[in-house]
Amino acid sequence: MIPLLAFGLPAAPEWTFIGVLALILFGPKKLPDIARAAAKILSEFQKAKEEFQRELLQVPKLPEIKQPQERRVHATSPLPPADKIGNPSFTSET
């Protein structure tokens, strides 16, 4: 399969053919309206692209996340063994 733009953009003879074909299909009264609508679409697309680029450039950098300092936890009472958890007869004094 040959890519669409492999041969470049249309030259003057191709644009002439496209213009005549559009004139035949849409008529001379409808052609200016179609051109105006296409220009509006292209300008809106350009504005959206510029706004997106502005937003990307104005985004502040994320703050640097620092590693938390190591803290030592002092247990006041030892944890019960795994087999005693949930046993009501177990007390922390055993």
Rounded Cα distance, 34 and 40, in Å: 10
Domain boundaries, the chain: 28-59
Q: Decide if 92 contacts 77 (C-beta within 8 A).
A: yes
Say what the pTM is. Answer: 0.45
Q: Decide if 80 contacts 90 (C-beta within 8 A).
A: yes
Rounded Cα distance, 29 and 54, in Å: 39
Judged by phi (left if over 0) then psi (alpha if -120 to 50, else beta), residue 86 lies in left
pLDDT digits (tens, 9 = 90+) for 34-91: 889 999 999 999 999 999 988 888 877 778 888 877 766 655 656 656 566 665 565 5
